[in-house]
Amino acid sequence: MEQSSIPMQKQNKIAGWGLLIGILLISSNLRAPLTSVGSLLSYIRDDLEISNALAGSLTTLPLLAFFIVSPFASVIANRIGMEWTIFYSFIFLTVGLIVRALSGVTLLISGTIIVGLAIAFGNVLLPGLIKMKFPLKIGLLTGLYALFMYIFGALASGISLPLSRISGWGWQGSLASWAILSVVALMVWIPQLRKKAELPKDDGSKHTVKNNIWKSPLAWNITLYMGTQSLVFFTMVSWLPDILISSGYTSDMAGWMLSLMQLAFVPFTFITPLIAEKVADQRLLSSITGILVIIGAGGLHSGNTIIIVIAVICIGSACGAAFSLSMMFFSLRSNDGQEASKVSGMAQSIGYLIAAVGPVLLGLMHDITADWTLPIILVGIVGAILIVSGIKSGAAKKIASVQ
């Protein structure tokens, strides 16, 4: 009996590592296809002769897709299984990445929408999968998956422009190259298709909490916190290079500064959930994120090279910490797994709708004023909203019953 259990334990260990590697590869694809656009945005705009507002929609459209799909991702996963849902969504992602790189504004927009729809499933389902498969290591695994998501997001921002300069590639070839990463994730994910992890279902037991989260002030504050931190991130991904170019940076340096912003996420995306898991009250942690955004916005407006570098690091640190806190709030503020899934769907749906306003609004402001001053001030105001919603979300309490 003991001898036969040894191979079984070895198989379980291998399967566990396979699942972990699969999760990390999936997470690596959740931002890179979006952040790769930022440093190429001005080239896409000039090549296709489109406005700044329309160029900003290349970041906004995926967020609108997140808004549409997020509430339904868990419903689909319950029907066909989480693993199969993620697999099909990544086939969809690969197709979208290729379509996006084909010639013409219509295909660019269509492919961008497909990419957003596909990524939305990973956004919603990965936190739930981690909670079910690694229930004793939620903080660690949340940190790891956010870590890989942002490392590859930062890498995409930095190398997209150099890739576009490879002979015959252009911005189309640079964007299409990210389909390679999604195919690798698909291949590694195949062994998981023999399993079927479902989201917690209501079994009618007395322990099942049935709160109406749409009437919960706490759930709405978590949603607002999720939305405002996402707005800052996606706005900076879209327009930070252009903002820096207006301050005298070259396009190459501006692209690498965008990478620096995202690399600043790395320690905070990993460390923040570990800290948040060990303390009951996260109000201080969440308010610091808003303060850093305000400092960063002021630094971008300074025009001083050293201060701008510090500002970029502040914004990156704030976004990394705030994203991880958002993911943790889904579990920390909910009463059970089912409610956590509902809060996640609500926050990522409405939250990404809030975020979608940012890139287009700042692009429109710049089109009207021909200056980045007003858009940068708006980012600072969003930082103040982040402080308020973060303090309310970080209080040590659970979602209460509201009929």
Identify whether 1 is part of a domain: no
The residue ranges of the chain whose pLDDT is under 70 are 1-12, 195-211, 336-338, 401-403
d(CA 158, CA 116): 21
Query: Which two three-digit tokens encode residue 176?
Result: 């299409």
pTM strictly above 0.95: no
Predicted confidence at residue 200, as pLDDT, reads 47
User: Which tens digits make up the pLDDT trace of 152-166?
Assistant: 987 887 888 889 888
Identify whether 258 is part of a domain: yes
Identify whether 311 is part of a domain: yes
Identify whether 4 is part of a domain: no
In which domain, by residue range, is 355 found? Answer: 10-394
The CATH number of residue 182's host domain is 1.20.1250.20
Q: Which of 402, 15, 33, 330 is nearest to 193 (CA)?
A: 15
Identify whether 322 is part of a domain: yes
d(CA 304, CA 178): 34
Number of structural domains found in the chain: 1
Predicted confidence at residue 110, as pLDDT, reads 93
Identify whether 5 is part of a domain: no
Predicted confidence at residue 8, as pLDDT, reads 53
| Contact criterion met (CB below 8 Å) for 380 and 298 | yes
Q: Which of 268, 281, 274 is nearest to 392 (CA)?
A: 281
